[in-house]
Structure 1
Amino acid sequence: MMAISHLTEPLISKAKSADKLEYLGLLVSGILMGLWPAWPLAWVALAPLWYVIHRGGSLRRSAFCALMWGVGYHGAMLEWVLHLHPLMWLGVPWLGSIAIALFAYTFVTLWGAGIAVMWAVGMAVLRQIASLGNLGRVFVGTALWCGIEALWSIGPLYWTSLAITQSPSNLVIVHLARLSGHLTITAAIVAVNGVLAVSAVRSYSRRWLMAAVGLFAIAHLIGWGLYQQPLQDQPAAALNIGIIQGNIPSREKLTYRGVRQAEDVYRNNYRQLAQDGADAVLTPEGAIPTRWNRETSIFSQVVREVGVPLWLGTFVPTDNAHIYQSLVEVAPNSAAQYNKIKLVPLGEYIPLQSVLGDLISRLSPISTDMLPGQLSQRFDSALGQAAVGICYDSAYDWIFRRQVAQGGEFILTASNNDPYPLRMMAQHHGQDVIQSISTDRWAARSTNTGLSAVVDPHGHTRWMSAPLTVDTHIATIYRRDTQTLFVKRGAWLVPVLLMLSGVWVVRSRD
């Protein structure tokens, strides 16, 4: 017995070392997936996790492997969350500021990693109840991943869909979003990686490798076909939109002096843009961080004098202690208003307030809870109906899809983006590019600190501001009434894939 024990100990040690290397490899591959905007990496970086799934294993092992990959991906994509620090200007001690930033970063990373963990556990369960085979495993695994992402996309925290790895750099593949939203892009990425991993499992089978290359090529050919469709905008539908980027950091803007500075910056630049020929002027989220009163606001008076509609980011009070984060139209004959739908937890509202309110309020700068806007709202502006998003709304394609389906002719987004770095600003731009392409609409983006931009329906950035500067611009965009398949039918691909996968699993058990 002792001799056998001496023989097995090195084998056990060797196996543990191999496990550690595999976990490290999964962490690294997740990080590679998150090296945005290096979009080609996304087409191979999920393959190591797929490799684990194809080989099979226990639920616990599958979950831990997925956790390592997910932490790598979402941690790399969301490192900008750490720029919440410093918060000392809010009266938070230095150590408390560090703790808040670390907690927020850890929480959002683990929340995002939950997608991969749920997927891996689901695939491990399916392996125990059905003999899917390699092709079936790829098909069902793709459907399951998209289904879990769809579930996440209606939740409170959603930013790092696999689709964002392709935007705005790979516009050809982003055009797949016109078919069934951003999850069409996700499906293509997951499927290609799954087939590639089959090749690795089968000793780098050339047949499966060529299948992965072929699937990659087909996805891009479909995207290329959609990308080549002409815009055919009509001169009569042109709108000259003025955009203001105020570049007033929140630590300054949320003071009496900062409010006065914001009023001067936006009022003076509004007058100048109107004088230069703008048909309307767009400002960022929370441009004027005070409670909106149309009757007493200086902007109502200025607009009456100038006559050009102003789309102003501000806070609109409700009948009680709550407020909306809103974009209001200040115009002689219109009073459109859009209220932000997806609020930021801890930043704009306190989750589980009845249970955690007292504790969280000590860690959060919120003084008044915000209420989310209704999905059914419309923004009927003086220049036509717009599809509007405020900041975090940009990650949720169903918000824009519904507004366009109801008649939205162009997209307006207003964001703050302070105190985050250029990487976050560029990712946010990528989110809006997806929305513009998926709905076939021109988009005007106004941000506080950057990157403000104008995007055409094919995702081309026609103009972009420099970050962390005061900037203004007038751009011509066009009203459009086209409807993509996504606008007409929504994210139809996910339920179809899940239904077919269910049939495949049932038949595999017979």
Structure 2
Amino acid sequence: MIDKKFSYILHSPLSSSSKFLLHIPSLIIALFGGVLMGLTVAPFNCYFLAYVALIPLIFAIHKSFFTATFAGFLWGFGYHGTALFWITGIHPMTWMGIPWLYSLLIALICWLFITFWGAILVTIWSGLINFIIKIEYSKSHFYSWIIFILGISSWCILEKCWSLGSLWWSSLAYTQSPYNLPILQLLTISGTTTLTAFILLINFLIFYTIKTYLIPVNQDRKYFQLVLFITLFVFISIHIYGWLIYKTPLQDSPNKAIKVGIIQGNIPNEIKLYDPGLKKALVNYKKGYETLAQKNVDLIITPETALPFFNEDIEKNTSFYKTVKENKIPIILGAFKTLSTYDYTNSLFSIDKNGNVISRYDKIKLVPLGEYIPFQQILGDVIRRLSPLDTQLVAGNYNQSFIITLQDESKQFKLPVIVAICYDSAFSEIFRQQALKGGEFVITAANNAHYRNSMPFQHHAQDVMRAIETGKWMARAANTGYSAIVNPRGDTVWLSNLNEYQTHIDTIYRRHQQTFYALRGDWLNKLFILIMATYLFFRITINRFIHLQ
């Protein structure tokens, strides 16, 4: 009688609430895995966790479709929510006239929105791979390798799609920057896709190692040893390959040296666009320019909107251009440019030693909510107050070239430079396009004063990746930090302090050589698209054949 009761309990259908309870451990572990991945970046910088943080999610995608997709969402929420928590640093915005409670609400909505957007990517991936697992299920080992290849391919394709939009920051690749320099050398092959694919591969291999170990079949023990060997071999050999590249001497020619000066003006956002901030900016940047000019630098670099005026007003109504003409040192100046009555740009101006503007770069990737309002007809009146500016900015286009002038022993000459402003740093293609046009080193300018202190270091991590991808020296000027000098291997030669006024002089080098990535672009993603298209073609063909039979 008792045996029958137990048999009934074990084999009776579960209620929907009971089924949901069975999913909870997998969901909690997936969320934990996402949080682990979020700890790989600043302020925690535990980059090594990236090689195990996906394993809980990979286990979950082998379960039911509900578990897989919900686990994907929770993993994505944990990762992006942890990594991008610095967004909440825009609170408090009382200096903009926004009440404290409304400011907190806006900050939380921004954080949740960008976190949900990142989580959607992982949700789609998890559901897709779970679907493939269900239709391709087999006990053969070949089946597992097919899942690995399709899993890596589809994730990289989704990252590429997300990077084409306006909300992109947290690729898996940036979890390794700026500390794991040997593995960051993979960026020269196919950009961030190379590194993202490697991180996914190691996670899949470790998952498969665990899976084969847990199978209680004697004949699979040798296969477990084989998978373990492959995992260790791939992980170690790729790191050795990256280390060998990293240790290769740069061999920069002394006659290609440029002595650059950087001014970190340290104008807090709370006053930056008001009279006290405007006056302080003029004083700090004029003083910094004169200090660096006296030390005979070749070029002076300022941050994004260093002088938060329209450039024509700076020229007419201040003495800054007069100072440039007197000291005869070229400068890269961050300011605004009027295009029409209502349109203007966030720009960098290349000003020669005679005070002439010879080139201009307009920021391409504007910050949503801060510099432009998405879905303006719907949300414009609600969130317009987020912007520190009265009107929206106009984005620059990809087809820009930036020229600077330098002085050698006999004459003044022009050369192309790769430049980017703030949020542009998250988008590799902006740098690659300018590298193809002959850019010989990189200049980035930023104002990271809006956010928590972890954000400037994450921004620095993005710039380190861009320097490696292009194989160029980089000089970075930020309003409140971090300003930096980075070499083509990703070494941070100098890093400023946060929230301090600083000037710095350093030497960088012009470089003509191009990396494989700069020449060929993200070719690996094209290969992944081909793999997914080939799989889809054969799956449809096989299904039709089975149907006809």
TM-score w.r.t. the length of structure 1 is 0.95
User: Which residue among 413, 419, 436 is the counterpart of 2:444?
Assistant: 413
Structure 1 match to 2:101: 95
| Cα distance in structure 2, aligned partners of 1:216 and 1:22 | 27
| Cα distance in structure 1, aligned partners of 2:289 and 2:386 | 37
Structure 1 match to 2:304: 285
User: Which residue among 25, 40, 45 is the counterpart of 2:48?
Assistant: 40
Letter in 2 for 1:325: N
Shift of residue 506 of structure 1?
Answer: 4.3
| Cα distance in structure 1, aligned partners of 2:480 and 2:229 | 46
Question: Does the alignment pair 1:195 with 2:205?
Answer: yes
When the two chains are superposed, the root-mean-square deviation of aligned CA atoms in Å is 2.1
* Contact 1:136-1:504 at 8 Å conserved across structures: no
* 1:319-339 superposed Cα distances (whole Å, 9 cap, x missing partner): 230211111122225521111
Shift of residue 6 of structure 1?
Answer: 5.6
* Residue range with higher mean Cα deviation, 28-37 or 83-92: 28-37
Structure 1 match to 2:523: 492
Question: Does the alignment pair 1:57 with 2:76?
Answer: no
Letter in 2 for 1:356: L
Letter in 1 for 2:51: W
Compare CA radii of gyration and give the structure with the larger one: 2
User: Which residue among 310, 332, 344 is the counterpart of 1:311?
Assistant: 332
| Cα distance in structure 1, aligned partners of 2:13 and 2:388 | 55
* 1:25-76 superposed Cα distances (whole Å, 9 cap, x missing partner): 11111111111211110011111111222x2422x33211101111111111
Question: Does the alignment pair 1:232 with 2:232?
Answer: no
Query: Size of the alignment, in residue pairs?
Result: 508
| Cα distance in structure 1, aligned partners of 2:157 and 2:38 | 21
Shift of residue 208 of structure 1?
Answer: 2.3
Shift of residue 129 of structure 1?
Answer: 4.2
* 1:97-153 superposed Cα distances (whole Å, 9 cap, x missing partner): 000110011111111112211211221232344457110110111011000000111
* Residue range with higher mean Cα deviation, 40-49 or 120-129: 120-129
* 1:405-460 superposed Cα distances (whole Å, 9 cap, x missing partner): 11100000000111323311111111000000010000001001111100000111
Shift of residue 299 of structure 1?
Answer: 2.1
Q: Which runs of 5+ in 1 are unaligned?
A: none
User: Which residue among 351, 359, 362 is the counterpart of 1:339?
Assistant: 362
Give the 3-state SS of the residue equivalent to 2:511 in structure 1: coil
| Cα distance in structure 1, aligned partners of 2:368 and 2:357 | 32
Give the 3-state SS of the residue equivalent to 1:202 in structure 2: helix
Structure 2 match to 1:153: 163
Task: Give runs of aligned pairs for residues 109-128 of structure 1, distance below 5 A.
Answer: 109-128=115-134
Give the 3-state SS of the residue equivalent to 1:377 in structure 2: coil
Query: Residues 455 and 69 of structure 1: is their aligned pair in 2 closer, same or farther, counting only changes over 3 Å?
Result: same
| Cα distance in structure 2, aligned partners of 1:419 and 1:361 | 16
| Cα distance in structure 1, aligned partners of 2:260 and 2:460 | 18
Structure 1 match to 2:498: 467
* Contact 2:260-2:508 at 8 Å conserved across structures: yes
Structure 2 match to 1:380: 403
Letter in 2 for 1:24: I
Give the 3-state SS of the residue equivalent to 2:334 in structure 1: strand
* Contact 1:288-1:314 at 8 Å conserved across structures: yes
User: Which residue among 249, 262, 269 is the counterpart of 1:250?
Assistant: 269
User: Which residue among 12, 26, 31 is the counterpart of 1:27?
Assistant: 31
| Cα distance in structure 1, aligned partners of 2:200 and 2:184 | 15
* Contact 2:350-2:403 at 8 Å conserved across structures: no
Letter in 2 for 1:79: F
Query: Residues 363 and 348 of structure 1: is their aligned pair in 2 closer, same or farther, counting only changes over 3 Å?
Result: closer
User: Which residue among 185, 204, 222 is the counterpart of 2:241?
Assistant: 222
Give the 3-state SS of the residue equivalent to 1:25 in structure 2: helix
Shift of residue 371 of structure 1?
Answer: 0.8
| Cα distance in structure 1, aligned partners of 2:513 and 2:339 | 35
Give the 3-state SS of the residue equivalent to 1:358 in structure 2: helix
| Cα distance in structure 2, aligned partners of 1:206 and 1:49 | 24
| Cα distance in structure 2, aligned partners of 1:71 and 1:405 | 37
Letter in 2 for 1:479: R
Task: Give runs of aligned pairs for residues 257-296 of structure 1, distance below 5 A.
Answer: 257-293=276-312, 295-296=315-316
Letter in 2 for 1:221: I
Task: Give runs of aligned pairs for residues 196-215 of structure 1, distance below 5 A.
Answer: 196-204=206-214, 205-215=224-234
Query: Residues 315 and 9 of structure 1: is their aligned pair in 2 closer, same or farther, counting only changes over 3 Å?
Result: farther
Give the 3-state SS of the residue equivalent to 1:382 in structure 2: strand
Q: Which runs of 5+ in 2 are unaligned?
A: 215-223, 407-414, 543-549
* Contact 1:242-1:472 at 8 Å conserved across structures: yes
Give the 3-state SS of the residue equivalent to 1:375 in structure 2: coil
Shift of residue 206 of structure 1?
Answer: 3.5
Letter in 1 for 2:306: A
Task: Give runs of aligned pairs for residues 408-487 of structure 1, distance below 5 A.
Answer: 408-487=439-518
* Residue range with higher mean Cα deviation, 191-200 or 75-84: 191-200
* 1:457-501 superposed Cα distances (whole Å, 9 cap, x missing partner): 011111111111111100100010011110001000111122134
Identity of aligned residues (%): 40
* Contact 1:130-1:508 at 8 Å conserved across structures: no
Query: Residues 134 and 6 of structure 1: is their aligned pair in 2 closer, same or farther, counting only changes over 3 Å?
Result: closer
* 1:242-292 superposed Cα distances (whole Å, 9 cap, x missing partner): 001111111111101210110000001101001112111111111111122
* Contact 1:51-1:198 at 8 Å conserved across structures: no
Structure 2 match to 1:177: 187
